[in-house]
Structure 1
Amino acid sequence: MKKTLLSICLFAGMTTANAQGIGQGLGAHYKCKSMVEALDMRAHNAMWKDPSDGEVFATMSLAYTSWVQGFISATNLHRPQTGQIRLSPERVAEWMHRYCSQNPNQEIYMGAKNIVESLPEGYH
Protein backbone atom coordinates (compact mmCIF):
# COMPACT_ATOMS: atom_id res chain seq x y z
CA MET A 1 0.00 0.00 0.00
CA LYS A 2 2.86 2.38 0.82
CA LYS A 3 4.35 1.79 -2.62
CA THR A 4 1.02 2.54 -4.28
CA LEU A 5 0.64 5.81 -2.40
CA LEU A 6 4.22 6.80 -3.17
CA SER A 7 3.71 6.01 -6.86
CA ILE A 8 0.52 8.05 -6.98
CA CYS A 9 2.17 11.02 -5.26
CA LEU A 10 5.18 10.93 -7.56
CA PHE A 11 3.03 10.62 -10.68
CA ALA A 12 0.72 13.42 -9.54
CA GLY A 13 3.71 15.67 -8.94
CA MET A 14 5.11 14.96 -12.38
CA THR A 15 1.84 15.62 -14.13
CA THR A 16 0.85 18.79 -12.28
CA ALA A 17 4.04 20.74 -12.87
CA ASN A 18 3.77 23.51 -15.47
CA ALA A 19 5.87 23.78 -18.61
CA GLN A 20 6.24 26.89 -20.71
CA GLY A 21 4.25 26.85 -23.91
CA ILE A 22 3.61 23.14 -24.47
CA GLY A 23 1.73 21.58 -21.62
CA GLN A 24 2.36 19.42 -18.63
CA GLY A 25 3.65 16.10 -17.53
CA LEU A 26 6.42 13.73 -18.42
CA GLY A 27 6.95 14.84 -22.00
CA ALA A 28 7.29 18.49 -21.12
CA HIS A 29 9.77 18.01 -18.28
CA TYR A 30 11.99 15.09 -19.19
CA LYS A 31 14.70 14.88 -21.82
CA CYS A 32 14.69 12.48 -24.74
CA LYS A 33 17.67 10.62 -23.31
CA SER A 34 15.42 9.45 -20.44
CA MET A 35 12.94 7.98 -22.91
CA VAL A 36 15.69 6.22 -24.87
CA GLU A 37 17.08 4.73 -21.67
CA ALA A 38 13.62 3.53 -20.61
CA LEU A 39 12.82 2.03 -24.04
CA ASP A 40 16.24 0.32 -24.17
CA MET A 41 15.58 -1.22 -20.75
CA ARG A 42 12.00 -2.38 -21.28
CA ALA A 43 9.39 -2.61 -24.03
CA HIS A 44 7.07 0.33 -24.67
CA ASN A 45 4.18 -1.55 -23.01
CA ALA A 46 6.06 -3.21 -20.14
CA MET A 47 4.67 -3.57 -16.66
CA TRP A 48 6.70 -4.45 -13.57
CA LYS A 49 5.55 -6.84 -10.87
CA ASP A 50 6.91 -6.34 -7.37
CA PRO A 51 8.15 -9.76 -6.24
CA SER A 52 7.53 -8.96 -2.56
CA ASP A 53 3.77 -8.43 -2.83
CA GLY A 54 2.81 -9.04 -6.47
CA GLU A 55 1.64 -5.47 -7.06
CA VAL A 56 1.97 -4.39 -10.71
CA PHE A 57 3.33 -1.02 -11.82
CA ALA A 58 3.78 0.78 -15.13
CA THR A 59 7.37 1.13 -16.23
CA MET A 60 8.80 4.44 -17.40
CA SER A 61 8.87 3.17 -20.98
CA LEU A 62 5.09 2.68 -20.79
CA ALA A 63 4.58 6.04 -19.07
CA TYR A 64 6.59 7.96 -21.67
CA THR A 65 4.96 6.19 -24.61
CA SER A 66 1.49 6.74 -23.12
CA TRP A 67 2.23 10.46 -22.72
CA VAL A 68 3.20 10.72 -26.40
CA GLN A 69 0.07 8.80 -27.43
CA GLY A 70 -2.02 11.27 -25.42
CA PHE A 71 -0.27 14.18 -27.14
CA ILE A 72 -1.11 12.66 -30.52
CA SER A 73 -4.72 12.00 -29.49
CA ALA A 74 -5.13 15.61 -28.37
CA THR A 75 -3.78 16.80 -31.70
CA ASN A 76 -6.17 14.50 -33.59
CA LEU A 77 -9.12 16.21 -31.87
CA HIS A 78 -8.27 19.34 -33.83
CA ARG A 79 -7.62 17.72 -37.19
CA PRO A 80 -10.00 16.79 -39.98
CA GLN A 81 -10.62 13.09 -40.63
CA THR A 82 -8.21 13.25 -43.57
CA GLY A 83 -5.47 14.52 -41.26
CA GLN A 84 -5.68 12.00 -38.44
CA ILE A 85 -2.49 10.37 -37.16
CA ARG A 86 -2.92 6.63 -36.91
CA LEU A 87 0.11 4.94 -35.41
CA SER A 88 0.23 1.79 -33.33
CA PRO A 89 1.88 2.07 -29.92
CA GLU A 90 4.82 0.09 -31.34
CA ARG A 91 5.29 2.62 -34.15
CA VAL A 92 5.06 5.52 -31.69
CA ALA A 93 7.78 3.91 -29.57
CA GLU A 94 9.96 3.27 -32.65
CA TRP A 95 9.53 6.83 -33.90
CA MET A 96 10.31 8.30 -30.49
CA HIS A 97 13.32 6.04 -29.98
CA ARG A 98 14.75 7.11 -33.31
CA TYR A 99 14.02 10.82 -32.77
CA CYS A 100 15.23 10.84 -29.16
CA SER A 101 18.41 8.92 -29.99
CA GLN A 102 19.28 11.69 -32.43
CA ASN A 103 18.17 14.51 -30.07
CA PRO A 104 18.93 13.32 -26.52
CA ASN A 105 18.94 16.76 -24.90
CA GLN A 106 15.58 17.90 -26.22
CA GLU A 107 12.42 17.47 -24.19
CA ILE A 108 10.27 14.47 -25.08
CA TYR A 109 7.48 16.71 -26.35
CA MET A 110 9.74 17.79 -29.21
CA GLY A 111 9.64 14.21 -30.53
CA ALA A 112 5.85 14.13 -30.17
CA LYS A 113 5.70 17.47 -31.96
CA ASN A 114 7.84 15.99 -34.72
CA ILE A 115 5.31 13.18 -35.17
CA VAL A 116 2.29 15.49 -35.40
CA GLU A 117 4.09 17.86 -37.76
CA SER A 118 5.22 15.03 -40.02
CA LEU A 119 2.11 12.84 -40.22
CA PRO A 120 0.15 12.18 -42.19
CA GLU A 121 2.62 12.93 -44.93
CA GLY A 122 1.77 16.14 -46.68
CA TYR A 123 -0.65 17.37 -43.97
CA HIS A 124 0.03 20.83 -42.54
Structure 2
Amino acid sequence: MKRSLLAASLLCTVSFAGQAQIIGHGVGVHDSCGSFLSAFKKAGPDRAIRLGNGETYPTMTNHYMAWVQGFVTATNMTRPDNGQIDTDREGLAGWIKNYCEKHPEQTLNMATIALVRALPIGFQ
Protein backbone atom coordinates (compact mmCIF):
# COMPACT_ATOMS: atom_id res chain seq x y z
CA MET A 1 0.00 0.00 0.00
CA LYS A 2 2.78 2.44 0.95
CA ARG A 3 4.59 1.63 -2.28
CA SER A 4 1.44 2.31 -4.33
CA LEU A 5 0.81 5.64 -2.63
CA LEU A 6 4.43 6.71 -3.07
CA ALA A 7 4.37 5.70 -6.73
CA ALA A 8 1.10 7.56 -7.29
CA SER A 9 2.45 10.75 -5.71
CA LEU A 10 5.63 10.52 -7.78
CA LEU A 11 3.61 10.00 -10.95
CA CYS A 12 1.48 13.05 -10.13
CA THR A 13 4.65 15.13 -9.82
CA VAL A 14 6.02 13.79 -13.11
CA SER A 15 2.73 14.02 -15.03
CA PHE A 16 2.16 17.66 -14.09
CA ALA A 17 5.80 18.68 -14.48
CA GLY A 18 5.20 20.32 -17.85
CA GLN A 19 2.34 22.44 -16.51
CA ALA A 20 2.50 25.72 -14.61
CA GLN A 21 1.64 24.20 -11.23
CA ILE A 22 3.70 21.28 -9.95
CA ILE A 23 2.49 18.96 -7.22
CA GLY A 24 5.26 18.34 -4.73
CA HIS A 25 7.04 19.72 -1.71
CA GLY A 26 10.51 20.78 -0.72
CA VAL A 27 13.36 22.85 -2.08
CA GLY A 28 13.50 20.95 -5.36
CA VAL A 29 10.01 21.94 -6.43
CA HIS A 30 10.36 25.68 -5.93
CA ASP A 31 14.08 26.49 -6.25
CA SER A 32 15.69 27.08 -9.61
CA CYS A 33 18.66 25.40 -11.20
CA GLY A 34 20.33 28.80 -10.89
CA SER A 35 19.94 28.61 -7.10
CA PHE A 36 21.39 25.12 -7.11
CA LEU A 37 24.39 26.29 -9.17
CA SER A 38 24.98 29.21 -6.83
CA ALA A 39 25.00 26.89 -3.81
CA PHE A 40 27.17 24.37 -5.65
CA LYS A 41 29.80 27.05 -6.40
CA LYS A 42 30.02 27.87 -2.68
CA ALA A 43 30.30 24.33 -1.34
CA GLY A 44 30.27 21.75 -4.13
CA PRO A 45 28.55 18.51 -3.19
CA ASP A 46 29.93 18.78 0.38
CA ARG A 47 27.50 17.99 3.13
CA ALA A 48 28.67 20.55 5.67
CA ILE A 49 30.74 23.65 6.31
CA ARG A 50 33.11 23.48 9.24
CA LEU A 51 33.71 26.77 10.97
CA GLY A 52 36.92 27.77 12.73
CA ASN A 53 35.31 27.23 16.13
CA GLY A 54 34.64 23.57 15.29
CA GLU A 55 30.92 23.94 14.62
CA THR A 56 29.49 22.22 11.55
CA TYR A 57 26.51 23.40 9.51
CA PRO A 58 24.79 21.75 6.55
CA THR A 59 25.19 23.59 3.25
CA MET A 60 22.36 24.54 0.92
CA THR A 61 23.84 22.05 -1.54
CA ASN A 62 23.32 19.41 1.16
CA HIS A 63 19.62 20.30 1.33
CA TYR A 64 19.27 20.23 -2.44
CA MET A 65 21.06 16.90 -2.79
CA ALA A 66 19.08 15.31 0.04
CA TRP A 67 15.92 16.28 -1.87
CA VAL A 68 17.31 14.84 -5.14
CA GLN A 69 18.37 11.62 -3.41
CA GLY A 70 14.89 11.29 -1.89
CA PHE A 71 13.27 11.75 -5.30
CA VAL A 72 15.57 9.14 -6.85
CA THR A 73 14.96 6.75 -3.96
CA ALA A 74 11.19 7.09 -4.43
CA THR A 75 11.64 6.46 -8.16
CA ASN A 76 13.71 3.36 -7.42
CA MET A 77 10.80 1.93 -5.42
CA THR A 78 8.81 1.69 -8.66
CA ARG A 79 11.63 0.18 -10.74
CA PRO A 80 12.83 -3.40 -11.14
CA ASP A 81 16.21 -4.41 -9.70
CA ASN A 82 17.91 -3.96 -13.08
CA GLY A 83 16.53 -0.42 -13.41
CA GLN A 84 17.75 1.15 -10.18
CA ILE A 85 19.40 4.58 -10.26
CA ASP A 86 22.54 4.88 -8.14
CA THR A 87 21.97 7.41 -5.34
CA ASP A 88 25.66 8.30 -5.08
CA ARG A 89 25.70 11.97 -4.04
CA GLU A 90 28.67 13.02 -6.16
CA GLY A 91 27.37 11.26 -9.28
CA LEU A 92 23.90 12.75 -8.94
CA ALA A 93 25.33 16.20 -8.15
CA GLY A 94 27.50 16.10 -11.26
CA TRP A 95 24.58 15.11 -13.49
CA ILE A 96 22.29 17.77 -11.99
CA LYS A 97 25.03 20.43 -12.22
CA ASN A 98 25.58 19.72 -15.92
CA TYR A 99 21.85 19.85 -16.61
CA CYS A 100 21.36 23.04 -14.62
CA GLU A 101 24.20 24.80 -16.44
CA LYS A 102 22.24 24.26 -19.66
CA HIS A 103 18.83 25.10 -18.12
CA PRO A 104 19.37 27.59 -15.24
CA GLU A 105 15.77 28.86 -15.43
CA GLN A 106 14.24 25.45 -14.74
CA THR A 107 13.54 24.12 -11.26
CA LEU A 108 15.58 21.48 -9.51
CA ASN A 109 12.48 19.32 -9.78
CA MET A 110 12.60 19.53 -13.57
CA ALA A 111 16.31 18.66 -13.54
CA THR A 112 15.65 15.61 -11.37
CA ILE A 113 12.77 14.50 -13.60
CA ALA A 114 15.13 14.80 -16.57
CA LEU A 115 17.68 12.64 -14.71
CA VAL A 116 15.09 9.94 -14.04
CA ARG A 117 13.88 10.01 -17.64
CA ALA A 118 17.46 9.87 -18.98
CA LEU A 119 18.01 6.56 -17.18
CA PRO A 120 15.21 4.32 -18.46
CA ILE A 121 13.91 1.25 -16.68
CA GLY A 122 16.13 -1.72 -17.39
CA PHE A 123 19.41 0.15 -17.87
CA GLN A 124 22.54 -1.63 -16.68
Q: TM-score normalised by the shorter chain: which range applies?
A: 0.7 to 0.9
2:109 maps to which residue?
109
SS at match of 2:57: strand
2:33 maps to which residue?
32
1:56 maps to which residue?
56
Normalised TM-score (structure 1): 0.74
Greater relative contact order: 1 or 2 (C-alpha under 8 angstroms, separation 6 or more)? 2
Q: Which runs of 4+ in 1 moved over 6 A?
A: none
1:72 maps to which residue?
72
Distance 1:110 1:56 in 2: 30
2:97 maps to which residue?
97
1:85 counterpart = 2:96: no
- Residues 122 and 82 from structure 1, CA distance in 2 versus in 1: closer, same or farther, beyond 3 angstroms? closer
- Residues 38 and 90 from structure 1, CA distance in 2 versus in 1: closer, same or farther, beyond 3 angstroms? same
Question: What percent identity do the matched residue pairs reach?
Answer: 38
- Superposed CA RMSD in Å reads 2.1
Equivalenced residue count is 104
Gaps of 5+ in 2: 1-20
Gaps of 5+ in 1: 1-19
SS at match of 1:106: coil
Q: Offset of 1:109 from its aligned partner?
A: 0.6
Normalised TM-score (structure 2): 0.74
